[in-house]
Structure 1
Amino acid sequence: MEIKTHNPTEWLTHFGLNHAVEVRGGERTLYLSGQTSSDAEGEPLHAGDLVAQFKTAWGELVKALEAADMTPANLVRMNIYVLDVPAFMEAAEEIMPVYAGSGAQLSATLVGVKELYHPDIMIELEGTAVA
């Protein structure tokens, strides 16, 4: 499998993101449900702490990848749903290195939403991986 990134402008690369990710020769595609900062019973963790919630949600996404015998390097697309886009952008310098250091070569979309499944959940990550 070959993964190639395309960046007609460089501004997204500062965030560890790409304008487009091309996959050739992939045999399996994994669609990941939204992952949040929740415990095993679905109870929210880290209320009020966006960075901690991102780190926990990212950890859950990685566990789901591992369950399918994949790693963050297989992740090609991530949707990031947040309650507060300006707060996310303010925290971006802390958030982006979490996945950027994992080998992920992502295309991504940041979407501001009115609410998520619980009032204490501030962020949800959804992805697509290819192997």
Structure 2
Amino acid sequence: MLQKKLEKMVKREINPWTWQNERSYNQAVEVKNVTGTLYVSGQTAINDEGISSTADMKTQLELAIGNLERVVTEAGYDCTNIVRLNIYTTSTEDLWPHFNILQSWVEKHKMKQALTFLEVVRLFETLTVELEATVVK
């Protein structure tokens, strides 16, 4: 019986420019030989009991990152393989001073994902930031 050889996942970064490198993302990411894809719903600063945070933007960002990381790892995936990250915030002005927290997290996992950063009028209840991801393996 012939057994198909499993090919290793390949991730290719596409960047016609260099300016995005300072912002910790790629213009596009091509992924080949994927064995699984995880589409993660927007993760926010909601605790284990389902209560939305009323904390400041910095604290909510840290909690949202922790929740995203928890969902990804509990699904058996690795944050390194987040290939798309969408950030929704109710205030770009309030989030931007804390963007280094997100950049440090991205660098820690060596992600270099495609990124969309969008200001919205409102999020659920008292929430101010939401992170949505696509992860592959």
Common fold by TM > 0.5: yes
Asked if 1:44 is matched to 2:52, the reply is yes
Letter of the aligned partner of 2:84 in structure 1?
Answer: R
Task: Kindly state the Cα deviation for residue 98 of structure 1 after the two structures are TM-superposed.
Answer: 2.0
Task: Tell whether the 8 Å contact from 1:58 to 1:99 is kept in structure 2 after alignment.
Answer: no
Task: Kindly state the Cα deviation for residue 46 of structure 1 after the two structures are TM-superposed.
Answer: 5.6
Letter of the aligned partner of 2:122 in structure 1?
Answer: E
1:52-63 equivalences under 5 Å are 52-63=59-70
Instruction: Please point out which of 28, 33, 36 is paired with 1:28.
Output: 36
What's the TM-score, normalizing by structure 2?
0.87
Instruction: Please point out which of 81, 87, 90 is paired with 1:74.
Output: 81
1:9-20 equivalences under 5 Å are 9-20=17-28
Letter of the aligned partner of 2:45 in structure 1?
Answer: S
| 3-state secondary structure, aligned to 2:100 | helix
Pairs aligned (count): 129
Asked if 1:64 is matched to 2:71, the reply is yes
Question: Share of identical aligned residues, percent?
Answer: 29
Larger Rg: 2
Which consecutive unaligned segments of at least 5 residues does structure 1 have?
none
For residues 11 and 55 of structure 2, the distance between their equivalents in structure 1, rounded to whole angstroms, comes to: 36
In structure 1, the residue matched to 2:16 is 8
**Root-mean-square deviation over aligned CA pairs:** 1.4
Which consecutive unaligned segments of at least 5 residues does structure 2 have?
1-8
Instruction: Please point out which of 106, 114, 117 is paired with 2:121.
Output: 114
Task: Kindly state the Cα deviation for residue 65 of structure 1 after the two structures are TM-superposed.
Answer: 0.9
What's the TM-score, normalizing by structure 1?
0.90
Instruction: Please point out which of 111, 126, 134 is paired with 1:128.
Output: 134
| 3-state secondary structure, aligned to 1:101 | helix
In structure 2, the residue matched to 1:83 is 90
